[in-house]
């Protein structure tokens, strides 16, 4: 079947591999699109969730009010033909308030009240579960430096970026992985987007409490060997970072992601020092300079591929 004759659904994919799913359009078969309502309700903004709950609340009450109005005289003390009275009686029934002014007057109304209460209890459990799941979901407050730098470290040109735990606790058994994502062309002339592992000097730490500078030596085994700012920009390079650990407060696994484009890598720079000591021997971490960089004083010549 021709592409133009198929029902298609247009969605958005990220331009950055760190999670914001808006940026690149994708076209898929409509029948392949699964309606994942639970996931959407968990990931939408808080105001969106409360808006959905509020709209559903009014819609359900309006439906039951219409059912009560189908049989005049079903509600004692309700004005004849008043949809508003039927609506507020439905609200009182659903929330089990029961002020006593209005109550069911027929078997039909009693059956509707029974059905509405069962529906409300189910809906309340679902709404409470969604709110609790969003509050209890473990999240990481991990800060990544806005830029990465390339500068000398122990005589070797090294890619470095900083990360910090923004909470006043520890992330246990923290592990970091770094990959290079770039455009390549196969021997058959097929363009591809490829991942390449990047080895770091220390990929894990038993306790991540303050800050951590992740370092990748640019040696012969590095996918950055022989590259510079211009060549990385030409191949649409992106450094993708993932951090996983156990939050000591919740004892649950948390994860954080970030990435750096070629323009966000400062060559021949170091990060500004954020650690200092007071006169009484207390260690101080100045996060105000967390993203600051300084020009490297001496940089060894980068070796270029033959």
State the residue for tokens 């966000």.
264
SS3 108: helix
Given a contact cutoff of 8 angstroms between Cβ atoms, the answer to whether 102 and 78 are in contact is yes
What is the per-residue pLDDT for 44? 87
Q: Which residue has the tokens 């059956």?
A: 111
Cβ neighbours for 1, distance < 8 A, ≥ 6 positions apart? none
- Gap between the Cα atoms of 17 and 20, Å rounded: 8
Kindly report, residue by residue over 109-167, the tens digit of the pLDDT.
999 999 999 999 999 999 999 999 888 877 888 999 999 999 998 888 999 999 998 88
What is the DSSP secondary-structure string of 129-167?
Answer: HHHHHHHHS----EEE-SSEEEEEETTEEEEEEEEEE-S
Positive or negative: CA dihedral 197, 198, 201, 202: negative
Q: What is the DSSP string of 77-101?
A: TPPTT-HHHHHHHHHHHHTT---SS
Return the structure tokens found at 76: 């004692």
Residue ranges and CATH numbers for the domains of the chain are 3-33 (no CATH), 42-136 (1.10.287.70), 142-295 (2.60.40.1400)
pLDDT value, residue 52: 92
Are residues 225 and 176 in contact, defined by beta-carbon separation less than 8 angstroms?
no
Cα dist from 113 to 61, 66, 131, whole Å = 11, 13, 26
pLDDT at 283: 80
Residues linked to residue 99 through DSSP beta bridges, in sequence order: none
Number of CB atoms found within 10 A of residue 130's CB? 16
The predicted structure's pLDDT at residue 4 = 45
Q: What is the DSSP letter of 81?
A: T
User: pLDDT tens track of the chain, all 306 residues?
Assistant: 444 444 444 444 445 555 444 455 666 555 555 567 888 888 888 999 999 999 999 999 999 999 998 888 888 888 888 899 999 999 999 888 878 788 888 999 999 999 999 999 999 999 999 999 888 877 888 999 999 999 998 888 999 999 998 888 889 999 999 999 999 988 888 899 899 999 999 999 888 888 899 999 999 999 999 889 999 999 999 999 999 999 888 888 889 999 999 999 999 999 988 888 888 878 888 888 899 999 887 544 444 343
Q: What is the pLDDT of residue 300?
A: 43
pTM tops 0.75: no
What does the alpha-carbon distance between residue 107 and residue 91 come to, in Å, rounded to a whole number? 19
- One DSSP character per residue, 220-262 reads TTSTTTT--HHHHHHTT-EEEEEEEEEETTTTEEEEEEEEEEG
Alpha-carbon gap, residue 262 to 51, rounded angstroms: 40
| Residues in a beta bridge with 218 | none
Distance, CA of 76 to CA of 71 (rounded, Å): 12
């Amino acid at each position: 079947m021709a592409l133009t004759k198929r029902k298609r659904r247009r969605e958005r994919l990220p331009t950055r591999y760190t999670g914001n799913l808006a940026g690149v359009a994708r076209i898929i078969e409509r029948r392949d699109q699964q309606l994942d309502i639970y996931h959407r309700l968990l990931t939408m903004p808080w105001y969106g969730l409360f808006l959905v709950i509020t709209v559903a609340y009014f819609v359900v009450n309006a439906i039951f009010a219409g059912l009560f109005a189908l049989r005049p005289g079903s509600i004692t003390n309700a004005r004849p033909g008043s949809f508003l009275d039927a609506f507020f009686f439905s609200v009182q029934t659903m929330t089990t308030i029961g002020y006593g002014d209005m109550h069911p007057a027929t078997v039909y109304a009693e059956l509707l009240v029974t059905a509405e209460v069962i529906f409300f209890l189910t809906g309340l459990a679902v709404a409470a579960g969604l709110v609790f799941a969003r509050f209890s979901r473990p999240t990481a407050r991990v800060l990544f430096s806005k830029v990465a730098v390339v500068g000398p470290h122990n005589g070797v040109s090294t890619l470095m970026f900083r990360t910090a735990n923004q909470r006043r606790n520890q992330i246990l058994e923290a592990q970091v992985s770094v990959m290079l994502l770039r455009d390549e062309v196969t021997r058959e002339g097929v363009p591809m987007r490829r991942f390449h592992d990047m080895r770091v000097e220390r990929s894990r730490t038993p306790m991540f409490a303050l800050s951590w500078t992740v370092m990748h030596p640019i040696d012969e085994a590095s996918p950055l060997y022989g590259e510079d700012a211009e060549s990385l920009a030409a191949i649409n390079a992106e450094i993708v970072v993932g951090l996983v650990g156990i939050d000591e407060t919740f004892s649950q696994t948390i994860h954080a992601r970030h990435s750096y484009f070629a323009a966000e890598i400062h060559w021949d720079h170091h990060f500004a020092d954020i650690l200092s000591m007071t006169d009484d021997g207390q260690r101080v971490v100045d996060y105000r300079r967390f993203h600051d960089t300084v020009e490297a004083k001496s940089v060894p010549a980068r070796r270029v591929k033959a």
